[in-house]
């Protein structure tokens, strides 16, 4: 296992390149900030238009770098535009100056709260959604008036470069989005550079290293880590819809989705029927690089070993392979695997598989389903299926997850106003929505005295009766 010291703070080509990018971003920041919300909105919307006009290019790049199916890449570009547009349009409302009540005691003041940019934000991205994931924090940081240095995954350098180049076409010089390329060493150098915040998306193990490196300069971080999302299927669920959703959420992008579904807890009375429906759908999926493929390749060769190990371990412990099995892994592909009755301490239940493997375990009650879903360290997304929507929402509220979809899967990712992020091993901080915008700002409150008060408790020139009168007043107001 690599540790923090694998990427020590040594000077080197990574650090030099990163420092130069941060310096360039720093010098571009005041001018970008001075554009104000309206000016930045115009630029970001023009970027969105350009991305859509050249979406075929972006789709090809994403496919070339990740082996995604055409539909998976198309969906990614749709999400990029949807989120970018929301962020550009709503930044002024969310972050603009707002008046706050001074309260009774200080009624002679007026107060305004503003959200100022932090300066330069470092964004470290993963390869699984190489455009959609970075665009979340990049667009929020930019809309708030920061400039950005992006380190894309070493698996998807060209997609990162394309994003920065298209934005530069709109902004001209100086660039407000800089890209540094490289592996973990470049990422570590960015964490140690003179940035004002780091937004990291990747595995939880790397997230710990990122946080340790950022701690050296007390640089704040957002950690969007891994997940082990679960679905709860209640006895009254629409089983057809639940099975369809489960298979898509588990197999889309060949299972390489942070909020991909890896576990289902289904109530015993409907478990057999649900499993039949899941098996029927999963077995019919096509794998490969053909135009009609539903699942593309597994990007990291070492992930194929993890997927195979999880499947073998589960079977060795007594799980049943309902669809596929160890033979489903034929590098660089992994075909759908559905496992049933998997012991809860197997790696396929406790660790992120990040491949097209779905565990379906039966439970006696919804309470048991909730307890099992909440048992692991991760807490990213989750789903609930129940025909009783209120009941579904109350099950959702008991799940330890950042986002839960009721009678749908991963719905939150298609809603730009919805904050996205996890708890526990899945990390902390939020991207998307108002919370995602505020993440890249510092809050400043300015109070302004409008007139001198009759009593002046915060002065040594106050009279002897001032404080007793104040206490009497507060008792009258709040003490009953």
Say which residue the tokens 């819809």 belong to.
241
The residue from 28, 88, 133, 143 that contacts ligand NAD (CB under 6 A) is: 133
Q: Cα–Cα distance between 11 and 204 in angstroms, integer?
A: 26
- Which of 119, 122, 125, 145 contacts ligand NAD by CB under 6 A? 125
Q: Is 203 in the site for ligand NAD (CB under 6 A)?
A: yes
Q: Let me know the angle formed at the C-alpha of 250 by 267 and 356, rounded to the nearest 5 degrees.
A: 120
With 0-12 / 13-18 / 19 or more C-beta atoms within 10 angstroms meaning exposed / middle / buried, residue 76 is buried
Q: Is 188 in the site for ligand NAD (CB under 6 A)?
A: yes
- Cβ distance to ligand NAD smaller for residue 44 or 180: 180
What DSSP state is assigned to residue 174? S
Placement of tokens 């007139």 in the chain: 451
> Least separation, in Å, of the C-beta of 308 and ligand NAD?
17
Rounded distance between C-alpha atoms, residue 197 and residue 283, angstroms: 45
Whose CA is closest to 438, among 149, 193, 143? 143
147 binds ligand NAD (CB under 6 A): no
- For tokens 């010098």, name the residue: 27
Residue nearest to ligand NAD (CB): 187
- Confirm or reject binding of residue 187 to ligand NAD (CB under 6 A): yes
Of 214, 258, 352, 439, which is the active-site residue? 258
Stretch that binds ligand NAD, among 12-20, 70-78, 127-135, 451-459 (CB under 6 A): 127-135
Which of the ranges 60-68, 107-115, 122-130, 165-173 carries the binding residues for ligand NAD, by CB under 6 A? 122-130
Q: Binding to ligand NAD by residue 252, rule CB under 6 A?
A: no
**Distance from the Cα of residue 354 to its chain's centroid:** 16
CA angle 185, 186, 189 (to 5 degrees): 85
Structural contact between residues 239 and 273, judged by C-beta atoms closer than 8 angstroms: yes
What string of H, E and C letters represents the secondary structure of 113-127?
EEEEECCEEEEECCC
Mode of pairing for the β-strands spanning 320-323 and 337-340? antiparallel
Is position 214 annotated as part of the catalytic site? no
Whether residue 355 contacts residue 299, with contact meaning beta carbons closer than 8 Å, is answered with no
CB atoms within 10 A of CB 309: 16
CB of 432 to ligand NAD, least distance (A): 10
Q: Which is nearer to ligand NAD, 1 or 173 (CB)?
A: 1
253 binds ligand NAD (CB under 6 A): no
Q: Using the minimum distance from each CB to ligand NAD, give the nearer residue, 48 or 259.
A: 259
**Piece of 27-35, 51-59, 150-158, 214-222 that binds ligand NAD (CB under 6 A):** 150-158
Instruction: Find tokens 């104040």 and name the residue.
Output: 470
Tokens of 354: 């990040």
C-alpha 288: how far from its chain's center?
28
C-beta of 130 vs 324, nearer to ligand NAD: 130
Give the separation between CA 340 and CA 323, rounded to whole angstroms.
9
For ligand NAD, the closer of residues 233 and 298 by Cβ is 298
Contact 48, 81 (CB under 8 A): yes
Least CB distance to ligand NAD at residue 361 (A): 21
User: What CA–CA distance (Å, rounded) separates 409 from 11?
Assistant: 45
Return the SS3 of 211.
helix
CA atoms within 13 A on the CB side of 286: 8
Q: Does 307 bind ligand NAD (CB under 6 A)?
A: no
Closer CB to ligand NAD, 208 or 320, in the complex: 208
Query: Is 225 a binder of ligand NAD (CB under 6 A)?
Result: yes
- Give catalytic status of residue 258 as yes or no: yes
| Contact status: 209 vs ligand NAD (CB under 6 A) | yes
Whole-number Å distance between alpha carbons of 152 and 160: 5
Determine which residue in the list 59, 120, 180, 380 makes contact with ligand NAD, applying CB under 6 A: 380
Phi, psi at 187, each rounded to 5°: -65, -45
* Residue 279 makes contact with ligand NAD by CB under 6 A: no
Total chain residues near ligand NAD (CB under 6 A): 31
- Residues 14, 76, 224, 262: which is the catalytic one? 224
Q: Which of residues 316-375 bind ligand NAD (CB under 6 A)?
A: 352, 354
* Number of other residues whose CB lies within 10 A of the CB of residue 318: 10
Q: Which of 206, 253, 361, 405 binds ligand NAD (CB under 6 A)?
A: 206
Can residue 416 be called a binding residue for ligand NAD (CB under 6 A)? no
In the structure encoding, which two tokens stand for residue 424, read together? Answer: 């526990």
Smallest distance from ligand NAD to CB 358, Å: 16
433 is a contact residue toward ligand NAD (CB under 6 A): no
Q: C-beta of 258: minimal distance to ligand NAD in Å?
A: 3
Closer Cβ to ligand NAD, 65 or 294, answer by number:
65
* Contact range with ligand NAD by CB under 6 A, out of 171-179, 187-195, 214-222, 273-281: 187-195
Q: For ligand NAD, give the closer residue by CB, 366 or 403.
A: 403
Of these, 227, 296, 324, 419, which contacts ligand NAD (CB under 6 A)?
227
Between CA 58 and CA 131 the distance in angstroms is 8
**Catalytic sites, residue numbers:** 224, 258
Q: Provide the binding-site residues for ligand NAD, judged by CB under 6 A.
A: 7, 124-128, 133, 151, 153-154, 183-184, 187-188, 191, 201-203, 206, 209-210, 213, 224-227, 258, 352, 354, 380, 422
């Amino acid at each position: 296992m690599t540790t923090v010291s694998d990427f020590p703070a040594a000077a080197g080509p990574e650090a030099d390149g990163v420092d130069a990018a941060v310096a360039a971003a720093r010098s571009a920041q005041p001018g970008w900030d001075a554009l104000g919300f309206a000016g930045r909105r115009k630029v970001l919307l023009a970027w969105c238009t350009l991305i859509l006009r050249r979406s075929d290019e972006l789709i090809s790049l994403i496919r070339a770098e990740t082996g995604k199916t055409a539909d998976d890449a198309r969906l990614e570009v749709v999400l990029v535009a949807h989120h970018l547009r929301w962020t550009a349009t709503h930044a002024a409302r969310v972050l603009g100056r707002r008046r706050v009540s001074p309260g009774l005691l200080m009624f002679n003041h007026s107060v305004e709260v503003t959200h100022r940019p932090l300066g330069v934000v470092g964004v470290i991205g993963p390869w699984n959604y190489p455009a959609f994931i970075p665009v979340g924090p990049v667009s929020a940081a930019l809309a708030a008036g920061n400039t950005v240095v992006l380190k894309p995954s070493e698996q998807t350098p060209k997609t990162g470069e394309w994003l920065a180049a298209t934005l530069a076409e709109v902004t001209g010089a100086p660039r407000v989005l800089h890209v540094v390329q490289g592996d973990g060493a470049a990422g570590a150098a960015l964490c140690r550079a003179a940035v004002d915040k780091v937004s990291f998306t990747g595995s939880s193990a790397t997230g710990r290293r990122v946080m340790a490196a950022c701690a050296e300069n007390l640089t704040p971080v957002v950690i969007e880590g891994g997940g082990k999302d679960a679905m709860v299927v209640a006895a009254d669920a629409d089983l057809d819809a639940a099975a369809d959703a489960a298979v898509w959420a588990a197999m889309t992008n060949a299972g390489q989705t942070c909020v991909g579904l890896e576990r289902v807890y289904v109530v015993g009375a409907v478990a057999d029927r649900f499993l039949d429906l899941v098996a029927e759908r999963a077995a019919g999926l096509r794998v490969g690089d053909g135009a009609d493929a539903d699942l593309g390749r597994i990007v990291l060769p070492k992930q194929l070993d993890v997927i195979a190990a999880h499947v073998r371990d589960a079977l060795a412990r007594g799980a049943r392979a309902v669809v596929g099995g160890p033979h489903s892994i034929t590098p660089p592909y992994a075909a759908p695997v559905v496992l049933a009755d998997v012991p809860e301490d197997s790696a396929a239940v406790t660790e992120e598989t990040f491949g097209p493997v779905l565990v379906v375990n039966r439970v006696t009650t919804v309470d048991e389903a909730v307890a099992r879903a909440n048992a692991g360290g991760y807490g990213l997304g989750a789903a609930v299926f129940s025909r009783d929507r209120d009941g579904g929402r109350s099950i959702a509220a008991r799940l330890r997850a950042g986002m839960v979809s009721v009678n749908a899967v991963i719905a939150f990712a298609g809603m730009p106003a919805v904050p996205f992020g996890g708890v526990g091993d899945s990390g902390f901080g939020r991207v998307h929505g108002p919370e995602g915008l505020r993440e890249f700002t510092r809050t400043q409150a300015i109070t302004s005295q409008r007139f001198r008060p009759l009593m002046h408790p915060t002065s040594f020139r106050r009279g002897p009766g001032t404080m007793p009168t104040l206490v009497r007043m507060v008792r009258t107001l709040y003490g009953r």
